[in-house]
Structure 1
Amino acid sequence: MKILIKVGINMRDNKFRVWDTGGKRYWYFTSSEDLDPSLERIIKEGEIQKFSGLNDVNGVDIYEGDFLKVVFDDDEFDEYDEPMGVVKFGEEFRQIEDEPLDGWIISDGTKEGGEYLDQWDGAIEVVGNMYENEELLLTLKSDPSDPKPLELKFRVWDGKKIIYVSKDSGYRLVFEGGDWELEYKNEQYCTSKDPWCKLMQFSGATDINEKDIYEGDIVKNGLNEEEYKRKYPNDYKEYGFTLGEFVGISTYDAECSCWCIDNPKYIGVTMVHHLFCEIDMKTVEVIGNVHENEEIFRGLISE
């Protein structure tokens, strides 16, 4: 069997690799070689990634799906230690000026961000790929051109348990001015005037496990020290794991009209006041809430 693949305009060597989804490994080929029939399934079912025709500073072939970082001789450019993006091929990417990027690019994960791969020839290093190093996907930005609308959801603490309000739950919230009332099957269940009840809104963000983050949730950095070191090498170099060890409560700050993570023990301390917009929320993990996990909450406020 001979494999024929459509190669890009910048292809200088008809090589490609295939990610075997079953075997969890890469197979490397050239498009002109005769293949063993046992590999036909891998080619058919796997993910084909083409060779870009370029090598990194260490002579390593650069393929689609590889993550690259810029390499400088001078240590003062340590800020570039994080990957600059992932290698892709196509015409779907554009620069801010809406000029199309046709061919091999280094993408930052958005439709707006991309640079030609060959512009960085001789100054880039392969640091991993999208399948064998999934943690590198966290370094990509979300796509600002396709924002998700904020879903308006609420939950209520009734003094004993948390109730998630939805159409199928039988509960319904009624708002009037600054007051609210929770009904169950058209009967009043509790109101904002009941001191033991607490209304909590969905923040619009999800954690590292795709769990919705609500007001009152206790969250922490979901990365361990080694993962944090790889993702934030400059912060780790200057502060160690101090910034990565944050634990706090999801709170809406009315003064700045934004969601943040606060530790009540250190109110006003910048290092433990994390704005959602300044955090990669894909690294945050919900570990409980202030009502159902009192022991965690007390640990936050204890000396």
Structure 2
Amino acid sequence: MITVEHLSKTYGAYRAVDDVSFACRPGAVTGFLGPNGAGKSTTMRIMAGLTRPDAGRALIGGVDYHDIPNPGTQVGVLLDASAQHAGRTGREILTLSALTMGLPLSRVDDMLNLVSLSADESKRRVRNYSLGMRQRLGIANALIGDPKILILDEPANGLDPAGIHWMRSLLRAYADQGGTVLLSSHLLHEIEIIADEIIVIGNGRIVAQGTKDELLQGAGAYVQAVDNPGLAAGLQQAGHTVSASGEGLRVDAEPLQIGQVAAAGGHVLVELRRADSAGLEEMFLQLTAGAQREGVVTTGGVA
């Protein structure tokens, strides 16, 4: 169990994390989403005892990370796959971890097999590893102590499609066996597939959290017309709330109601569906619109 309570962290005048609270339960994969600079990595560094908060606390299994005896056997952490000793081999890195935690050296071979690093690859210096290989080594290092909790920041970065599928299966099996997984990723499709619960952060604050189904349901409808501004005007006149969404409109109404307004106004529709079928990406962009560096592109002049 991971419990974050009223966590805040400020760097000078910049508030990186602002009164953040959430929990990650055993037996579930929790997706932690947010734009660059939203506060994800800072929050995870506080959990792992690498950064001290200004206020609040982050508890791992009910205690502060620094108070966990032999923490690698209780919580596995991967925050930066490139932050591994470049001059050591993969096998040496895992061997040192096993010795530090008092584990049998057989765990080294177990982990190399688990993450599909061959005997030859395990003898290479990490400086000669691809990013994907470093991710696999980092995951092996996080799992070597057989922890009950995993905290992973962008573990799929650098993995090829087969590697992403492998990681998804690994984490799903880990959670199904009662483990707790907190997973940060920019690969929204992967989060949508694997996550049981989702936390969205923007500008240092939690903007949404809940199960995937809770966050994606009841979001109105998405419609795209040949004349988006004209349809938007008709919908607003009918009392519906309308906002731009990608190449179309998000409307606080049922598809049938939108279709009736479109028919009455003679509008040709290109697409009409419930907004929950638009998936995680559209929800993410809407919730974090104010925190996106590039901003969310709008069409048709609808605010």
Tell me whether the two structures share a fold, i.e. TM-score over 0.5. no
Structure number with greater CO (CA < 8 Å, separation at least 6) is: 2
TM-score, length basis structure 2 = 0.29
Identify, as 1 or 2, the structure richer in helix.
2
TM-score, length basis structure 1 = 0.29
